[in-house]
Amino acid sequence: MNRISLVVLATGTLTLALAGCGSGDESAEASGLRKGTPTSSAIATAATATAAPTTAAAAGSAITCTEFRALDSDGEKRAIEQILADNPGSQFEGSPNVALGTAKLVCLAPGYADRTVAEAIGIGA
């Protein structure tokens, strides 16, 4: 009887763990970074770029890691969207969440403080 209980418990745990994995589409929608669809933040970035080109998000590929780290999460997303738009065909094309996570990690290193985010994540010169 103990063996049956352990098998049922293990099967239930495995089922719950696999159900939690999902396809990942929900996390992309929740973060506001969908593949290939314009978002309100991308539209806001375009409007900001024409209105105030000195903002960090509007600077696009010119934003440094120090400036990137000072942004709030919406600013970080806008900056990454702009960097990806400025660098079509990069290894992060279609994967803005991966680019954002990479930028957050790489920009923590003190040696990258004065480098651009695009250069730090390997898509800029």
The reported pTM is 0.54
Give domain limits for the chain: 27-120
Q: Which residue has the higher pLDDT, 39 or 122?
A: 122
Q: Which amino acid is at 37?
A: T
Please report the pLDDT score of residue 40 as a whole number. Answer: 45
- In sequence order, what DSSP letters do the residues of 34-100 get, joined into one string? -TTS--HHHHHHHHHHHH-TTSTTTTGGG-BHHHHHTS-HHHHHHHHHHHHHHSTT-TTTT-HHHHH
pLDDT in tens, 32-85: 555 554 444 444 444 444 334 345 445 677 999 999 999 999 999 999 999 999
CA–CA dist 18, 114 (Å, integer): 42
- Cα 69 to the center of its chain, rounded Å: 13
Distance of CA 122 to the CA centre of its chain: 15
- Residues 116 and 124 sit within 8 Å (Cβ to Cβ): yes
Per-residue model confidence (pLDDT) at position 124: 72
Q: Averaged over 78-100, what is the pLDDT?
A: 93
pLDDT in tens, 5-32: 545 545 555 554 545 555 444 444 455 5
The pLDDT of residue 92 is above 50: yes
